[in-house]
Structure 1
Amino acid sequence: MSRISVRGFAVASATAVTTVGAVVGVASGTPQDSPNDFEAAAAGATLLAEIPTGQQAQVMTSSLTQQADAQAIAADSAAKKDAEENARVQAAKDAVSKQQAAKQAKAEAKAAAEAKAKAEKEAKEREEAEEKEAASRSATRSTSATGSLPTTAKGSYSIAEIQSMARAVVPGDQYQCFSNIVDHESDWNYKAVNPSSGAYGLFQALPASKMITAGADWQTNPATQIKWGLSYMEERYGSPCGAWDFWQANRWY
């Protein structure tokens, strides 16, 4: 039985006891303070008759239980509704967050791609500028070398003559490196031939015919070979000393 039912029984029981006492007093002839005592006794008897007993108590208990269950169900329904609403709001917030994150990632990827393209463009422009500058320097050196070297070949040349030609066109701080390579490749023999590969001349060019870019007389004129060898070292290694560093590490250049 619920607390409400117990309380109801307690009140009804107290009333009933009072009423019974009044009735007994009347029956025994005890004097009463008021002429309404019989009415109070009758009212008390009526309340006593209304006390729930047996099946009536079970009905009252069932009704109270149903009310409590209904309240619990209503509370659960409200809590479930609140939870669903909170979940819906959170899902909407998550969707907005994901959308913003995707937008930010897209913007960052675009910025990175643009930065990469810009860097590649700048690198290409620098490379082209460097190539133009190198070509200009090479052309200047070639012109200088051509002006310093003899243009007419003779029948034969001594090592001293060939070295003198080289000193005339190779920068002073690069000459020793230049000379070291020629020493190892041909020992200053402008007609030296490698019997295995066919490499030819002071610099053992391979194929030998590529020295024609410096002059048609590349086979007989050491000046033409010097012009070609100096240009080759500068274009490929930056300088004769750069070529010599490579040669020492690899035994070829």
Structure 2
Amino acid sequence: MPEGNRVSRISVRGFAVASATAVTTVGAVVGVASGADQGGSNEPVEAAGTTTLLADIPAGQQVQQASLTEQVQAQSDAADAHARQGAEQAARVQAAKDAAAKKKIADAAAEKERLKKLAAGKGNPDASFPTQATYTIAEVKAMAKQIVGSGQYACFSNIVSHESGWRYTAQNPSSSAYGLVQALPGSKMASAGADWRTNPATQIKWGLNYMNSRYGSPCEAWSFWQVNHYY
């Protein structure tokens, strides 16, 4: 065969393969059409490139996808729980701050009211009186009214009446308590004056300071005394 008309084996083989493929494809199409004409299966033929069904995914990959989904959900749940805990903690902290602020306001109001009551019957703890050899109960009471003040005098008087009967030299036979307010021991009153044994004014000043510092006022000291029978 002349060289110009020669067909290589590779070209012939490629043509044969292409021809066979074409014939096979045509046959498949004809066969499908023929089957449809002859009352064969009416199921649609799935075209190439359609969506892959879950059943088409290997079992191992299905398990892997399910595991990843569970992990994502677990992380989301954990984040939500953490956010709730943070919000609850913040709410508790704020509630504590609010309660502390309210208590502070209430305490300030109570202290203001207490001072107001004291001011209404304010006495003169620095009042001075002539020294005498002896003092009557009336004189001692007059001193107390001036030192203690009218607002607290009744309560102060109630305590002194029960403790000593307004006798500034009263001494408890079973203890070292002494004076109008029965200081125990009596020598405590030396902080108000060296003449604590014989000067009722010194005893009154010490007693008033004791009631104010320990209970807030003579009336609060009297309230305590009524329950406990001491102060």
Taking the TM superposition and a 5 Å limit, the aligned residue runs for 1:138-177 are 144-147=124-127, 150-177=128-155
What residue number does 2:228 align with? 250
Counting only pairs closer than 5 Å after superposition, residues 76-95 of structure 1 correspond to structure 2 as 78=58, 81-95=61-75
Question: 2:123–2:145: 8 Å Cα contact kept in structure 1?
Answer: no
Whether contact under 8 Å (2:166, 2:180) holds in the other structure is yes
Instruction: Pick closer, same or farther for the CA change 1:173–1:126 going to 2, 3 Å.
Output: closer
Aligned Cα RMSD in Å? 3.8
Structure that is richer in helix per residue: 1
Identity of matched residues, %: 46
5+ residue gaps in structure 2? 1-53
Whole-angstrom distance in 1 between the partners of 2:108 and 2:186: 30
Which runs of 5 or more residues in structure 1 are unaligned?
1-73
Name 1:239's counterpart in structure 2.
217
1:220 alignment counterpart = 198
Cα-to-partner distance string for 1:79-99 (whole Å, 9 max, x where unaligned): 664354233212222123313
Larger displacement relative to structure 2 (203-212 or 120-129): 120-129
Structure 1 residues 174, 125: closer, same or farther in 2, change over 3 A? closer
Residue type at the aligned position of 1:237: Y
User: Which residue in the other structure is 2:76 paired with?
Assistant: 96
Q: Secondary structure at the match of 2:209?
A: helix
Question: Does structure 2 conserve the Cα–Cα contact (< 8 Å) formed by 1:142 and 1:227?
Answer: no
* Alignment partner of 1:190 is 2:168: yes
- Deviation of 1:161 after TM superposition, in Å, equals 0.8
Choose which of 202, 208, 215 in structure 2 pairs with 1:230.
208
Distance, in Å, in 1 between the alignment partners of 2:206 and 2:214 is 12
| Partner Cα distance (1:121, 1:204) in 2 | 41
Query: What TM-score, normalized to structure 2?
Result: 0.58
Please tell me whether Structure 1 or Structure 2 has the larger radius of gyration of its CA atoms. Answer: 1
- Superposed displacement of residue 182, structure 1: 0.6
Amino acid paired to 1:154: Q
Quote the offset at 1:206 in angstroms.
Answer: 1.6
- Taking structure 1 as the reference length, the TM-score comes to 0.54
Name the structure 2 match of 1:9.
none
Q: 1:252 Cα deviation (Å)?
A: 0.6
Deviation at 1:172, TM superposition (A): 2.3
- Residue 109 (structure 1) aligned to one of 61, 80, 89: 89
CA shift for structure 1 position 107: 6.0
The separation in 2 between residues aligned to 1:213 and 1:123, in whole angstroms, is: 36
Q: In structure 1, what is the equivalent of residue 29 of structure 2?
A: none
